[in-house]
Structure formats: C-alpha cells, structure tokens
Structure 1
C-alpha cells in the first residue's frame, strides 16, 4: 500500500501561518504519534548562517502539535559545530520554544549499535530510548550527498565527533557510509518526518549554499517516502542521490516511486525548476588531516558556545 506524503504550500515563516500549515501537514501525513516520549530532531548544523538549520518556527509548530496530541517531548540534536544549546540560542530556537515550556538538549551518551558490514556506531541513548522520533530537517543541497533530507538528518543522533570518524572509516568504501546512515535510522524507534522547505538551501551545502524560495512544508509517517517524493520534485533519480540509491538497494519501504502517494498538493504546486544541486560530489571519506581539522573546529566551536 502506498505511503502518504503530505505536501502543503507555505510562503513564509509567519508564526500563525506556519503553525497552521505544519498542523495540517502532520494531520494529513498518516502518522499517529506515540502517547509516550517523542524526540524532536531538528537539523542544528551550526550557529551561522541560520539557513543551515531548521527554521525555529517549524520546530515550534511541530512541538505544539505534538503537545496537543498528548506527547511528552524532548528537542535535541548533536550539531556538527558548537553545542545544541549554543546553536539553538543563536538561531532563535530557544526563544521560540520558551512559551511551550521546552528547551534544547544535546544528544550524547552514545550506545554502540552493530553495523551489518562490521564494527559498530555510537548512537545517542536518548534517541534510542524514545518511543518515537520526528525528524525535522531543512531541505538543503549537500556537497557529498547531493541533497540532505529526513533520513540524513538522523545522522545527528550520532554524537559529536563520532560523525567525522564514520566519514573517515566508511566513506567511499562500497557504499558503507550510506549503509551506516540507513542502519542508524533503522536502529531508532519508529520515525516520522516533517520537512522545512519554505526557504531551502541550494547550489551547495549543507552549510554554505544560497536561499531558494520553494514555499513547501512536507510530512509523512515515513522519512524514506518523504525523501523520495522531494527528490522526485527536484527532478533527481536514485542514481544521483547516494543515500536514496542505498535505500532502494536495501528495499526500504517508501524508496521507490510506486511506494508514495501524494496528498493535499501535487508536484505541480511547487516551482523547483531553478533549484541547483552540486554536479560533482566531494568524497565522503575524510582524510586524517581533514579529520583532525574537523575535530579541532568542533572543539573550538563547542568551547566558544
């Protein structure tokens, strides 16, 4: 049976408007959140530019909907640079969540999860122990993955510098890096997705691209299905998107076009004709020098936060 993916138009981040649209998208998504504890996982890449992170009003609207649904919520991430609290403060997320009585916490305290091709990966205990997860990414181009969406956003459940070590150990080796991303997502509790595509990032990314006004909010009970729908909207194929190709190879439900049913709006409601993605992807593997520089930048950003 096809998996519903709700696409709705939203021209800006006006709090009342985005609150209404996010609620409508989640209502139409087919997702029934658990009555227990839900981890809300935004993309808090770094403090600047704000475009590199999920917009605070989208996160706030998702949390308000979950609270109305009777859920207990934790908003958490492990940023690539800096601390979760520091990034959230800088982009206005702390202020946006304050009226809801919510704060932002770090994803740390890793538990080792075995990988099918050998070794293991550290995943935040807090994420593994939740009753459900809502991935709330921003639509962005990505210099290594071509685009980053709901499934890639869950890589933030791997705490801190461990992400860089995964790049170094598994990048560019028989699809192992993409496989690790898929297996991190599979290790988590049931995961739904809400996409911030109101103002996307294109040309390059995930942190230094250009704004693209797409005016889209998307939601689904399946991050895989939402990602496949958005990649289709952008005119991409699995062969062009390494993570999507790996999901399709593994037969992940929602990864193939026939697995998805669009609800509310169709593809023609959104103009993605000028959305640019990187033509040639950078290597996924970090060389030792790159790993060292990345680690030092992370430590410096965390200290400054």
Structure 2
C-alpha cells in the first residue's frame, strides 16, 4: 500500500525542517537512497521565474532534498528541461542554480533523449525521454502544487513530463490534439516507466487560477511526500476540490488499472488541508464524441487571444506552437489561425507576461451558468 505524508508548513524558512519530517515519516532518506546511487533530482523548472512567482519548485525545498541525498552518500544531479527559456537563465532566476553551487551538486539541462520500451497494452509505441532520467539509479521528483489550464492540476505525475526533452513536449501536445484523456495516458505511461522512488511536493506556496504559469500565487501550507507519485495525486487532488472523474490524469490511471483503492496517509491530519482552490475553467470537449473534435474545438473550447497591452513581442508563443497557428505581424500583433489551433494552450503557458488570454465562447459561458462543466 502506498503512503502519503502531509506536513504543515507556511513559510519557506521552515521548509527544510518540514521536508526532513515528511521524509522521515516514510522511513527516512536511507530507505530510498543507498551509497553510490546516481540520483536525478527533478524539480519543476518550467521557465525563468523568480521563486516569488510560485511557478517553479522553491530552492529551499530542492536544497533540503539534495542535502539528504548527500548525507546518504548518493550522487545527486539536479535537472529539468524548461519549455523555452535558456537553461542557464532558468537555473539562475529560479535560485536552483545557487543551490547546486552551494552544495557542489551539478544542475544540468535534460538535453539528450533515448527511446524507452513501452509496456504491452500501452497506447504509445514510441516515447523518448531524457537519457539521464532513464539511466539514473533513482529519481526524486519535486513538483510544485499548481492548477493547470489544460489538465486541471499539475502535481506529481505531471511533473515528470519535464523528462521529455525540449521541443518534443510541444510535439506531443500537437500529436494528441484536443483529447485531454490521451495526453493523460501519455503522462501515466511516462510515470509508470520512470517510477520515482520518492516524490516531495512543494505545496507551501503554489498556484491557483490560470496555472501553470499565469495564475495567482496561493498559500497551501503543506509539504507532502510519498513513495508513489500517483498516490500523492490521488490524495491531493480532492483536497484541491477536483473529483477523480473530473481529473483527466486519474481517469487515465483508472483506465489502466493503476489507481489505488487504498492509500495510507500519515503526518498531520489530511482533513486540515482543505483549501478552496480557484480552478481553471475546463473545456467541455467530453460532451462530444472524438469524431466531432473539429466542432468541439470551435464551439466547446476556449480560444487563446492576445492582450496587446501586455504583449512585449518576445514571440515565445510563436516558437512553442507546433501547429503553426501563430504568426506575429508588425506592431506586435498576433495572428491566430484557429483552424490549425489544437487548444493545447502552450502559448498561454509559455507567455512570461500573461499576454495570452483564454476566451470562453458563448456556449461555454451558458454552460457555466447552468453549472454543467
């Protein structure tokens, strides 16, 4: 039976203590790391954001985990593959580079990918993941507790999508198109292959609203640990107000027969963590069968639109769009080809100044009033 520990923590000044306590609840770091183990520490390093933006894993949490691995005489490497920003800039802005420098731990981009052997019965014949992630003896997963415009939440399992190297992330978004459940299946198969030995959730401060990068910082006040990333997601998602049937990731896990019916929770009382979270408004594509995706895209999904007053003309949205649905004209004017747009919202996710808004059409607004989605 998997175990999830929850520890109250409302300040990053005390995050290290909370991490130590929550890992000790599971048997201590020595349960997971043996002397000589090569260990990939995988935080959320989505982009070049300061820690006070609450987009990326806080450096104090990364530091606490790395110190514990070193104490067990493991050989840690801190690594991730950001969406678009240069890795040295991401490393510096997030403060995670300084952690590595202080501890003598390499902080590296995940740049080399290799194909993995998918299990029989999986939906994907070929998935390429970071060589470092695949070949490390152990992986410690350190996600950030956030909402997500496309997948509702990004927690333990979703953080491992960062082991897909660079632009291949956008390529996967393009391949799966509108179907959130297919993308969730991809996430489950990645998690099932990598199976981190330990997941440490940075939920001191997280994000609500239009996450994972343009939402609002939110004090959740929790450090959580688990020997199973999926079990952690099953515990945290209902606490954030998301039912299993409304969470694509858990629907996919249930379809694979991987969701847990029993999970042991320890530490501070789970009932004390019940924040009312501002969740992103979902599309209602599941109201239509897959063969009507084109109609669903046009009338039952939100459309990305430019906020010209905020836009700085960096063109990160254009660079990340694998569908070729975006071009920038003179005067920083974005042109959207909604016929090509697959509603992955990568443009929104990668925009550093929140200049891509998600406009809900008339039918979606009516359904909101009827409380149907």
- Normalising by structure 2, we get a TM-score of 0.72
- 14, 17, 20: which one pairs with 2:17? 20
Does 2:272 correspond to 1:269? yes
Partner of 1:37: 38
Partner of 1:181: 187
CA shift digits 1:46-93 (9 cap, x unpaired): 112531100111111111111112211010000112133321111211
How far apart are 1:232 and its partner, in Å? 2.0
CA shift digits 1:261-296 (9 cap, x unpaired): 1101122222412x111122468xx7712488969x
Equivalents in 2 of 1:75, 1:162: separation in Å? 20
Partner of 2:5: 6
Structure having the higher Rg? 2
- Structure 2 counterparts to residues 28-177 of structure 1, below 5 A: 28-30=25-27, 32-35=31-34, 36-48=37-49, 50=51, 51-114=54-117, 116-173=122-179, 175-177=181-183
Select the structure with the greater relative contact order (CA < 8 A; seq sep ≥ 6).
Answer: 1
**8 A Cα contact 1:135 1:153, kept in partner:** yes
- Other structure's SS at 1:85 match: helix
Which stretch has the larger CA shift, 192-201 or 229-238? 229-238
Partner of 1:229: 235
Equivalents in 2 of 1:139, 1:189: separation in Å? 19
The unaligned stretches of length 5 or more in structure 1 are: 299-305
User: What value does the CA root-mean-square deviation take over the aligned residues?
Assistant: 2.4
- Normalising by structure 1, we get a TM-score of 0.87
Equivalents in 2 of 1:291, 1:199: separation in Å? 33
> How many residues are treated as equivalent by the alignment?
289
**8 A Cα contact 1:164 1:291, kept in partner:** no
The unaligned stretches of length 5 or more in structure 2 are: 284-300, 303-320, 329-345, 351-373
How far apart are 1:188 and its partner, in Å? 1.7
CA shift digits 1:157-177 (9 cap, x unpaired): 000000000010123348322
